[in-house]
Amino acid sequence: MMRQYELVERVRRYNPNANEDLLNRAYVFAMKAHGSQKRASGDPYFSHPLEVAAILTELKVDDPTIVAAMLHDTIEDTAITREDVDKAFGEEIGGLVDGLTKLGKLDFVTKHAQQAENFRKLLLAIADDARVLLVKLADRLHNMRTLKYMPEDKRARIAQDTLDIYAPLAGRMGMQSMRSELEDLSFRCLMPDAYALIVSRLQTLKTKNGAIIARIAAELTDQFARRGIKVEVKGREKQPYSIWKKMERRSIAFEQLSDIYGFRILVDTVADCYAAVGVAHTTWPSVPGRFKDYISTPKQNDYRSIHTTVIGPGSQRVELQIRTHEMHEVAEYGIAAHAIYKDGRTGADLPGVSETRAYRGLRQTIEALAGDDSERFLEHTKLELFHDQVFCFTPKGRLIALPRGATAIDFAYAVHTDIGNSAVGCKINGRIAPLISVLQNGDEVLISRSERSAPPAAWDGVVVTGRARAAIRRATREAAKSQFGGLGRQIVERAFERAGKKFSEAKLKAALPRLARASVDDVFIGVGRGEIYSTDVVRAVHPDFKEERKAGPAVPENESGWFGLPKAVDLVFRVPGKSDPASVLPVRGIDLDTTVRFAPKGGAVPGERIVGIRGPEGITIYPIHSPALIEYNDQLELWLDVRWDLENAPKAVYSTQLVVTMLNEPGALGVIATTIGEYGANIDAVSSSANGADFRELRIDVQVRDIQHLNAILSELRGKSVVHRVERLSG
């Protein structure tokens, strides 16, 4: 274990003015607080915060951050309180330690809700002070380095969390060195065979190509020196996880990768960067499409460099990353490399220094998502962190950085929330395009607006940025309260009634932390949407409640009571019926001698556009929107242009399938069946399965006359209070 004087010496190497007394007091304080506690490895527990502090000395952080690293587990794992830390070290360090402390032992209904709320607390603390992130990443890195000592059942969960959250966070902050190590440690735990194989291949390749790599490095150095450019050439080897991810994404073999080895060309000035590009491109042929200038347009994590690929010595493809020494430090250490985070000062304390783009972007993301409940906050933040970027422009030339895969809707919200909420159309590079269009690097986007007060809720499933998702959810929340809140309240009140408990909003409000919801309305909305079980709400208010479902007496099929479905029963019944023979199908455009049939699921009905697909057993008719047609996209020779012939055809009915999500209460199925019957449609078959405690999903084969008949039934069903959702199944 590192000694007290060794830690102080590490800090003094980069900060001769370090507060030795503060560091010594923190060392003794933390060692006494953890006392005889042991880690899973058997080492004294205090060795862990000490190693975290040592990792941070490599990032050259300020004294309060080192102290916070030594104290980061004291509030959570010892008898020390926030007040004790404040009294001994001041509120600044106390705030850092508190930001790193998980929530107290709150009685959450689910483990996932507790984890999500802890993550939310951490990110909100990071938004207040970036040093919290530095300590947390160092903490996670040491935990991953010692992961082998953890119980086997916990390793995979910790490694997956690291890959999902902490490695992307490090990348978002530009800390590429730490991100790479976190990814590789996680990869080794989650996929040990794949990791071992790639490491073995890398070692073989290094042995085989070692001489070539040395030759390329020497020739690069010589060529730049001849032109009077002082350079430092560093070899770069792609990391195992990065290699595996690229192989998976592109479905290629290890041997097909051309950028496993590359070189970093470090120069003194930005002008030298562009001069070095000129030397490289006039000495060796450049590979088209492999030039990227991240100096003129930096990445959102502040990464700046020029990337280019040339056909270098020995006809080898050589990837070059050209940057200044300062850019290289930022690329490796991210926000920790900026003066803004040294000596505990913020941008406001340093004249002429503003917060970095990386930290500002993360803080804005966190603030935009802060209104979401904990689990959505976790989902959207993970999504935001994972994506690469595209750079687009407003008509006035403003640069907008977005995740790869972002749409024009994401662009509108990135410009301003009001523009996103009122967007109705767009022009991309001067041409009218749908708002759901995926944007490419360099696109110029003009958003058309209207006075509409709220965006369509369906946009929530289209956008990819957390900011846009949060804004759409906020804009539609009032509508959700009206649509789902009332329904959820009814379900909750009935659940309390079935449990023999009296419903009280005051008691429910007191139980909100256990449901990880911010308000009673959020609970009602969650129940109405099917995101929370009503029985979980009862348990949150009455922890001693145990659900007991008693099987009711058998009831004949033709009595209305039969439609009250118990939770555990999967119901299937079938009504005798007949199908139209192929010989009388009212379809034009097909040889009469050909065997014709409708698609077995989600069959077409008169009045909608149809298409025929030729197969070995004849022709199958699909509605034009059927997902089944996707597999024939590359076989256009099988497609037939067919249409309905209803003028000369006998009257008939056609089968299609509905998927209905209904409330799980007595009489609900009866309402649905009666509604369908009142519209003159036959039910050919019904299957039912549980969809949570409060809902059941029905699949109904119904016979209708045409598309107008079907749409009328769908419209009527959607208006029934027992129906949560109804859609036509397209097979």
Rounded distance, CA 477 to CA 416, Å?
Answer: 19
Q: Which two tokens stand for residue 197?
A: 């194989």
Cβ 675 vs Cβ 709: under 8 Å: no
Three-state DSSP string of 50-88: HHHHHHHHHCCCCHHHHHHHHHCCHHHHCCCCHHHHHHH
- The angle that helices 192-226 and 176-190 make with each other, rounded to 10 degrees, is 150
Cα-only R_g, the chain: 32
Cβ 175 vs Cβ 333: under 8 Å: yes
Sheet holding 572-574, edge to edge: 572-574, 682-690, 695-704, 654-663, 723-729
Cβ 484 vs Cβ 525: under 8 Å: yes
Per annotation, catalytic residue among 20, 76, 161, 460: 76
Place of tokens 């084969």: 701
- List the one residue out of 714, 618, 600 whose CA is nearest residue 655: 600
Per annotation, catalytic residue among 20, 43, 58, 77: 77
Q: What is the DSSP string of 238-254?
A: --HHHHHHHHHHHT--G
Q: What is the DSSP string of 268-280?
A: SSHHHHHHHHHHH
Rounded distance, CA 209 to CA 707, Å?
Answer: 67
690, β-bridge pairs: 696
Cα angle 371, 377, 380; round to 5:
120
Q: What is the DSSP string of 181-241?
A: HHHHHHHHHH-HHHHHHHHHHHHHHHHHHHHHHHHHHHHHHHHHHHTT---EEEEEE--HH
Give how far Cα 34 sits from Cα of 6, 27, 96, 203, 646, Å.
Answer: 20, 11, 19, 42, 83
Burial 399-427 (b: 16+ CB within 10 A, else e): ebbbbeebbbbbbbbbbebeebbbbeebe
Place of tokens 């049939």: 597
The residues near 648 (Cβ < 8 Å, ≥ 6 apart) are 586
Estimate to the nearest angstrom the gap between the alpha carbon of 364 and the chain centroid: 17
Cα angle 692, 693, 696; round to 5:
65
Q: Is 76 a catalytic residue?
A: yes
Q: Which two tokens stand for residue 312?
A: 């270098």
Give how far Cα 631 sits from Cα of 74, 335, 603, 626, 682, Å.
Answer: 58, 48, 17, 11, 32
The set of catalytic residues is: 76-77
